[in-house]
Amino acid sequence: MRKHAITVTQVTNGIYFLQHLRQILRPGLLLESTFPGKAVKLRYLIPFFDSSTQDWALEARLLRWITFLWLAIGLAVMFSASYAVADARFNNGLHYFKIQLVWIAIGMVGFNLLVHSPLRLLLGWANWIVLLLLGLLLLTLIPGLGISTNGATRWLAIGSVGIQPSELMKPFLVLQSARIFGQWHYLSWRVRLTWIAIFCFVLVGILLQPNLSTTALCGMVIWLIALAAGLPYSYLFGAAGVGVMAAIVSVSIKTYQQRRLISFLNPWKDAAGDGYQLIQSLLAIGSGGLTGTGFGLSQQKLFYLPIQDTDFIFAVFAEEFGFLGCMLLFLMLAAYATIALKVAIKTTHPVHRLVAIGVMVLMVGQALLNIGVATGALPTTGLPFPLISYGGSSMISSLLTAGLLVRVARESGAEVLPLRRPRAGGREVGRV
């Protein structure tokens, strides 16, 4: 009887999802909006032409335009950082720029789909998407399936396109962890332990690629969402202890991580080896001075600074726009975080509040970690700068994450798909 009830619920959610998707994708017609009595056209899948924004809350509109500003800055900096390398490798300085435009177009469609999709629908499908991406993540660990780059196997090839499951996992990890911890006190221990185990599998899978930085970031996001949900401190400190021990074990058995840690403490000890990347980054940042060298005039990007269009793109930005440009970038991040926290406070539903907090931590936190690496405040890691660094999976993931926050800002008091069902006698039973 219990299995039958779960199946019916899942089928109902599937029908709801397909109907909603068909409404959005049916060409040439006015499409029914998420809210009754309103209509949007197919061209509104491109966020810039979405006239429905005039009815949004102020916070949603501000977040939307800050996202677009962030994206425009990133596209300009990525163009500058990648041009010389692309010209040398492909005899076409616009090679990476054109590819990035394609990923942005795909991410924009995803952004607007999430902005116009009810959170109840998104939360209801988060668990299945997490499980699907976990399966893809584990496939990267199978020899012959995963694509190895710089000693790490983090990508899967779909035709000629490489995807990074650990990056695509991030927005849905925020959704599902918010859904679990936001309803923690109503769930059975079976459901609690099941999802704690799944979260652990995700983190271990990312760690084995190996990708310590993304593991740490995802672990911190989950932990902070649990903290915001009010879980007992004994659980939180225990989880933090396990995470620290896992990091220590990883560093102790991975020699390249040990070398990164040593070079972080004193990069000039091996200036031509492990410390080279950080030293070149510091030279770029220092060369920017107060106002920068000017857009496109970075010298360190000319084959001195490695991976200057991804993990160390902030160094190029700092060299070209200087201290004042960096302060304006920090101001933008602060504004984004402030509005996100205001949305979290304003939202009445606890799960929606946790989604807003998780998105803020993921977007702003990852940006600050990237800046910390480029400035030598943190050990060298492989974390991209959201909406700025080159990369398809990272760009799509960041736009989906930003879309979730805009959707939370648009909704208040919405019903969340429950993780439990009532049983005769008034008791509640958890379900996945």
Q: Which domain holds residue 316?
A: 71-430
249 assigned to some structural domain: yes
Rg (CA), the chain: 22
Judging by DSSP bridges, how do beta strands 152-158 and 146-149 pair with one another? antiparallel
Distance CA 115, CA 158 (A): 27
Give the tens place of pLDDT for each residue, 296-334: 999 999 999 998 999 999 999 999 999 999 999 999 999
* Domains in the chain, number: 1
pLDDT at 31: 38
How confident is the prediction for the chain on average, in pLDDT? 85
282 assigned to some structural domain: yes
62 assigned to some structural domain: no
Question: How does 91-125 read in b/e, with b if 16+ C-beta sit within 10 Å?
Answer: eebebbbebbeebbeebbbbbbbbbbbbbbbbbbb
Indicate the pLDDT class of residue 15, thresholds 50, 70 and 90.
Answer: low
Is the pLDDT confidence value at 28 over 60?
Answer: no
Give the tens place of pLDDT for each residue, 163-183: 999 999 999 999 999 999 999
Contacts of 103 (CB under 8 A, 6+ apart): 391, 392, 395, 396
Amino acid residing at 365: G
Amino acid residing at 244: V
Is the pLDDT confidence value at 426 over 80?
Answer: no
Is the pLDDT confidence value at 114 over 70?
Answer: yes
Highest mean pLDDT among 19-33, 52-66, 157-171, 336-350: 336-350
pLDDT at 41: 53
pLDDT at 188: 93
343 assigned to some structural domain: yes
Separation in Å, CA 4 to CA 131, 154, 192, 343, 377:
22, 39, 22, 38, 54
pLDDT at 211: 86
Average pLDDT over residues 72-80: 96
52 assigned to some structural domain: no
Is the pLDDT confidence value at 432 over 50?
Answer: no
Indicate the pLDDT class of residue 47, thresholds 50, 70 and 90.
Answer: low
pLDDT at 171: 97
46 assigned to some structural domain: no
pLDDT at 43: 55
Number of helices and strands in the chain (H, E): 13, 7
15 assigned to some structural domain: no
Indicate the pLDDT class of residue 419, thresholds 50, 70 and 90.
Answer: low
pLDDT at 148: 77
Give the tens place of pLDDT for each residue, 125-145: 999 999 999 999 999 988 888
Give the tens place of pLDDT for each residue, 366-381: 999 999 999 999 888 8
pTM: 0.86
pLDDT at 272: 84
Distance CA 221, CA 40 (A): 34
424 assigned to some structural domain: yes
Is the pLDDT confidence value at 13 over 80?
Answer: no
pLDDT at 97: 96
Q: Which residue has the higher pLDDT, 346 or 14?
A: 346
